[in-house]
């Protein structure tokens, strides 16, 4: 018997490693030779990298009755997206970019509601504006899921706003790769139509995409090395991605062999016959880039996958949404003032 540790804290749901099976399709597209590929230097023309992340928050759950006699569950929610802009060559300091918080009153479908405007007692603390948005169903968790979905949409829009275009065939003469976006988590929806050089970096390995005869390579990768690029089709067949794995640091002897490994993905067309040169260029540079951005275990319990810019961005996003205790107090005061003391009994 042999036991090895998952390096992430036990209070993080799911941990860093999972063994969920993958029922989709994985095809070799870069090379049929399954072996480690050494990192290459970051191209000089790649002058800017954005690290994009988002954060949702439910601020209060509510029961709503509209003026037409309909009722349902809802919630005051907030989300924030933002980015860290940096030079991959280290020639200028990193800076925060477009850290913007939004608020919504998510509610069960069929309700007709007006926006909620929470005016502060102190004019210096600002107003809180909650426009109504309908959730997908009347389930009590649907408002929370709606806030999450709105955050993901905003995150994707911001990521593609920054990134260079990726030519998707041999005759596409769009700009060469100069700006790259690293987006925390998997890529969502049909972003291939947007054509941006956006890389989703997946910090956990909850799904085992590789078959048993290939997964062993992940444990032997050296820092900066990557696997070949593959073409991935989801189990539903509705989404396709280019994907590969990169090692950011060596695993300690007491950790599982895939510690320090991260999966990356980019949007891909349905046809797996063409690998855009820009995707290969991103993959070749990903090892050197992530070695610079990976966090250290003595500073971050989710190191190295929780990138240094992401940790700084998380603090900025939390500040942008404000104190949850004060916001909840404002919501309670608004309900009491607008609907009477019995509404908060």
Task: Summarize pLDDT for 183-194 with one digit per residue, the tens.
Answer: 999 998 655 455
Q: How many residues does the chain have?
A: 345
C-alpha pair distances (Å), 312 with each of 140, 185, 275, 317: 33, 17, 34, 9
Q: What local confidence, expressed as pLDDT, does residue 307 receive?
A: 93
Separation CA 98–CA 84 (nearest Å): 9
Task: Summarize pLDDT for 59-111 with one digit per residue, the tens.
Answer: 999 999 999 999 999 999 999 999 999 999 999 999 999 999 999 999 999 99
Q: What local confidence, expressed as pLDDT, does residue 79 receive?
A: 98
b/e per residue 31-44 (b: at least 16 CB within 10 A): eeeeebbebeebbe
Report residue 134 CA to chain centroid gap. 23
Task: Summarize pLDDT for 9-57 with one digit per residue, the tens.
Answer: 888 877 898 889 999 999 999 999 999 999 999 999 999 999 999 999 9
Query: The tokens 């950011």 sit on which residue?
Result: 248
H or E element in which residue 154 lies: helix 142-162
Q: What local confidence, expressed as pLDDT, does residue 124 receive?
A: 59
H helical segments located in 27-141: none
Separation CA 171–CA 277 (nearest Å): 12
Q: What local confidence, expressed as pLDDT, does residue 123 receive?
A: 62
In this prediction the pTM is: 0.91
**46: number of Cβ within 10 Å:** 21
Our CA angle for 22, 274, 191, nearest 5°, is 60
Q: What local confidence, expressed as pLDDT, does residue 218 receive?
A: 97
Q: Which of 295, 246, 294 is nearest to 266 (CA)?
A: 246
Rounded to a whole number of angstroms, the distance between the first and last alpha carbons of the chain is: 57
């Amino acid at each position: 018997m042999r036991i090895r540790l998952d390096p992430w804290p036990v209070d993080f749901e799911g941990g860093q490693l999972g063994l969920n099976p993958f029922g989709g399709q994985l095809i070799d597209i870069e090379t049929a030779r399954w072996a480690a590929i050494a990192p290459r230097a970051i191209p000089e023309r790649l002058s800017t990298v954005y690290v994009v992340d988002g954060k949702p928050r439910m601020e209060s759950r509510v029961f709503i009755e509209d003026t037409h006699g309909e009722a349902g569950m809802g919630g005051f929610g907030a989300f924030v997206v933002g980015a860290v802009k940096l030079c991959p060559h280290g020639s200028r300091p990193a800076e925060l970019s477009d850290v913007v918080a939004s608020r919504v009153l998510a509610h069960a479908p069929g309700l007709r509601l007006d926006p909620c405007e929470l005016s502060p007692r102190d004019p210096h603390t600002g107003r809180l504006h909650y426009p109504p948005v309908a959730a997908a169903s009347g389930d009590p968790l649907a408002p929370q899921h709606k806030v999450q979905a709105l955050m993901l949409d905003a995150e994707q829009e911001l990521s593609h706003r920054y990134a260079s275009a990726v030519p998707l065939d041999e005759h596409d003469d769009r700009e060469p790769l100069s700006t790259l976006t690293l987006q925390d988590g998997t890529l969502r929806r049909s972003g291939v139509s947007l054509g941006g050089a956006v890389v989703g970096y997946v910090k956990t390995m909850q799904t085992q995409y590789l078959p048993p005869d290939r997964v062993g390579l992940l444990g032997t990768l050296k820092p900066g090395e990557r696997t070949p690029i593959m073409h991935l089709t989801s189990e539903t067949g509705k989404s396709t991605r280019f994907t590969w794995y990169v090692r950011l640091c060596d695993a300690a002897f007491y950790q599982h062999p895939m510690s320090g490994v991260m999966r990356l993905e980019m949007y891909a067309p349905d046809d797996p016959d063409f690998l855009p040169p820009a995707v290969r260029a991103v993959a070749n540079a990903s090892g050197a880039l992530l070695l610079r951005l990976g966090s250290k275990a003595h500073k971050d319990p989710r190191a190295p996958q929780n990138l240094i810019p992401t940790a700084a961005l998380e603090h900025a996003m939390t500040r942008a949404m404000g104190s949850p205790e004060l916001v909840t107090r404002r919501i309670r005061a608004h309900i009491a003032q607008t609907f009477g003391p019995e509404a908060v009994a």
